[in-house]
Amino acid sequence: MPDIKEQKLLYHLTSIENLSSIFHNGLKPRAQLDAFADVADAEILRKRQALELERYVPFHWFAANPFDGSVQRRRPDSQFVVISVHRNFAIRNRWKVIPHHPLADDGIQLLDYAEGFEAINWDVMNVRDYHDPQCKSICMAECLSPDVVSAGDFFKIFVSNHEVEALCEAKMREAGVTVQIGVNRGMFLR
């Protein structure tokens, strides 16, 4: 498996139901959203709001992370997509990093990108042992955009199959945007 630290992308899972709005208005921080298909756990959202993390758009360092799996298990009949951006885009736009799960027992560390990147325990993250609480927490590290991320800033949208790909293409045509789409079944629960 490739070293996560050396990869070039960041990943955001969302419901396909949100794509029309995202293509028109960008990927917004939760605090700026009115109506959308929420994929996150309500209790976790309350805790994130208390930490003012709803002011950021969260991305993860790899797809098929514990968050992605949890969301897809809770909504087995829903279709999801994974939006990706280049890590260099995050660097240029001064995104923040939380080097482990934001709700970990040892508290939140909201760091500048470079400091946060170095604070992540990449060796542990690369193990991807979700039964080990420390490893799972590190695998839930986040890279946070303080701004709306427009569709023009996306690198690629990953989908689970060609049917979802066709739906994404139709939504892009309606919005007048073009984003590369790729089928990658490995990013999604089967």
- Identify the active-site residue in 128, 142, 174, 190: 142
Structure tokens at 113: 């990108």
On whether the CB atoms of residues 26 and 85 are closer than 8 A, the answer is no
Output the known binding site for NAD(+): 12-14, 48
Q: Using CA atoms, how far apart are residues 50 and 67, in angstroms rounded to an integer?
A: 19
> How are strands ordered across the β-sheet holding 111-112?
111-112, 96-98, 142-145, 57-60, 9-15, 80-86, 156-159, 180-183
Active site residue 142: yes
On whether the CB atoms of residues 26 and 149 are closer than 8 A, the answer is yes
On whether the CB atoms of residues 113 and 96 are closer than 8 A, the answer is yes
Output the known binding site: 12-14, 48
Structure tokens at 1: 């498996």
User: 3-state DSSP call for residue 40?
Assistant: coil
Give φ, ψ of 153 to 5 degrees.
-95, -5
- Identify the active-site residue in 30, 48, 87, 115: 48
Active site residue 52: no
Q: Using CA atoms, how far apart are residues 156 and 74, in angstroms rounded to an integer?
A: 25
Residues identified as active-site: 48, 142
